[in-house]
Amino acid sequence: MRSFHVRLFCFVVMTMLMLGALPFSSDAQLDPSFYKNTCANVHSIVREVIRNVSKSDPRMLGSLIYYYYYCCLWQGCDASILLNSTSTIVSEQGAGPNNNSIRGLDVVNNIKTAVENACPGVVSCADILALAAEISSVLAHGPDWKVPLGRRDSLTANFTLANQKLPAPNFNLSQLISTFANQSLNITDLVALSGAHTIGRAQCRFFSSRLYNFSNTGNPDPTLNTTYLQTLRSICPNGGAGNTLTNLDLTTPDTFDNKYFSNLQSLNGLLQSDQELFSTVGASTLSIVNSFSSNQTLFFEAFKASMIKMGNIGVLTGSQGEIRKQCNFVNGNSGLATFATRVESSEEQGVSSA
């Protein structure tokens, strides 16, 4: 009984610390009730589109969560990733970490159309991505949270910075910590946000080196469970198709839960950047993985706090930016596109087919 109370006390303290460190709406000028008087039904409109899509494509829930990651993690939550290339913009969609690794742009556009029909010129694409991430979590049986709103959309994209600042699936722990720290996200944020890999798929090309030639040794990654290694080699043969998909979570791939962390404890993390959280000697992340594995509520609370925190990075508010009429183009420039929106297929998609 005493140990139960100790664990409960630790849980409460950790949750309070995480929430207390949260840079909520006062600095970013965001508020969950931002559209109360201008588009009160925006949440239900977004939810209905996603719910209908997820019936035939459950993978889309993870994809929309990861769209939000790719949007926020390097420059800020300004929907710059949605912009297509034009005569004046080089799209971030073709940057190394994004190329063939994001899907769901058509769904985002469908959501935008539905929202515009109800509330023209009011809701930003950046806020649509934030709402879509929360709704996707809930539809996958994960946590819900009140999404701070009021973001505006960027007027440009930055292909160069997208190449430089987004985390890669082969990052080691120090690289991951540094990447997140550059956006004022701490180690708890890193582990909690990585937990979104509890749903989704990844292409073989993102982890095949772990199976056959880890760090140019000619051998597999020694931190990979040998049984899991053989399973993955059967899915991703050496020299085989790099775009073959496999589950990020081998136990419950379409359910948002804490099984991702128990997978890491069993050395069954699919990506190197996943397993690094548990297998790095002396890692400060190890105890957090253990805590989240044993307490799903703790993980959910941390994930909610970190998603809100990430959603406040570099936002545009007030008179900054604009409210795009179409998410793929700056207002007035849709006729300048140099290529059409990419055709998406399950064969093309990468890590964030999550």
3-state secondary structure 198-227: HCCEEEHHHCHHHHHCHHHCCCCCCCCCHH
Q: How many CA atoms lie within 13 A of 23 on its CB side?
A: 15
Query: CB count, 10 Å around CB of 354?
Result: 29
220 is in an annotated binding site: no
350 is in an annotated binding site: no
What sign does the dihedral 187-268-53-96 (CA atoms) show? positive
For the chain, report the end-to-end CA distance as a whole number of angstroms.
40
**DSSP, res 342:** P
194 is in an annotated binding site: no
Torsion of CA 30, 61, 170, 182, to 10 degrees: 0
92 is in an annotated binding site: yes
221 is in an annotated binding site: no
Measure Cα distances from 136 to 48, 81, 86, 131, 315 in Å: 11, 19, 30, 8, 21
CB of 126 within 8 A of CB of 78? yes
198 is in an annotated binding site: yes
106 is in an annotated binding site: no
285 is in an annotated binding site: no
76 is in an annotated binding site: yes
249 is in an annotated binding site: yes
Please name which of 2, 9, 336, 22 lies closest in space to residue 188, comparing C-alpha atoms.
22
Binding-site sequence positions for heme b: 197
Binding-site sequence positions for substrate: 167
Binding-site sequence positions for Ca(2+): 76, 78, 80, 92, 198, 249, 252, 257
Binding-site sequence positions: 76, 78, 80, 92, 167, 197-198, 249, 252, 257
